[in-house]
């Protein structure tokens, strides 16, 4: 119990998104991409969200924030759904997910 309290106060060695309240899960490799589930805990429910990343040709890490509206009551089920949805997204969109969003062209 104390470990959980202290890790919540001082963070952990796993990368956390700004404002995230939950610890990121271990990465899952899929077709050269790394999928990391980090659901948002909202009143006992978990929102499907996390990161998809892949190194580019120069070796720099490309990263895409992946968020969905799905809410699940358990963390394990949420992590599993994140991976499944991210795999489908990778299959459908591929590396285009790392391209700049044209809707934000003026946000430079």
Neighbours of 46 (CB within 10 A): 24
In sequence order, what are the beta bridge partners of 45?
42
For the chain, the DSSP string reads -HHHHHHHHH--SS---TT--SPPPPPEEETTEEEEE--EEETTEEEEEEEEEEE-TTSPEEEEEEEEEEEES-HHHHHHHHHHHHHHHHHHHGGGGGSPPGGGTT--
Residue reference for tokens 């309240």: 21
pLDDT over 80 at 61, yes or no = yes
* CATH architecture of residue range(s) 15-95: Roll (3.10)
**pLDDT tens, residue by residue, 18-60:** 555 689 999 999 999 999 999 998 888 999 999 999 999 898 9
What are the structural domain ranges in the chain? 15-95
- Of residues 101 and 65, more confidence is placed in 65
Mean pLDDT, the chain, whole residue set: 82
Query: What average pLDDT does the segment 57-77 reach?
Result: 94
* pTM of structure: 0.74
- Of residues 107 and 27, more confidence is placed in 27
């Amino acid at each position: 119990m104390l470990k959980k309290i202290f890790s919540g106060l001082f963070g952990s060695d796993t990368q956390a998104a700004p404002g995230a309240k939950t610890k990121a899960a271990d990465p899952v490799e899929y077709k050269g991409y790394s999928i990391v589930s980090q659901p948002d805990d909202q009143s006992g429910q978990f929102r499907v969200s996390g990161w998809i990343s892949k190194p580019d040709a120069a070796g720099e890490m490309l990263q895409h924030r992946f968020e969905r509206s799905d809410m699940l009551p358990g963390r394990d089920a949420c992590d599993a759904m994140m991976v499944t949805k991210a795999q489908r997204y990778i299959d459908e969109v591929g590396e285009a997910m790392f391209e700049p969003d044209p809707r934000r062209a003026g946000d430079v």
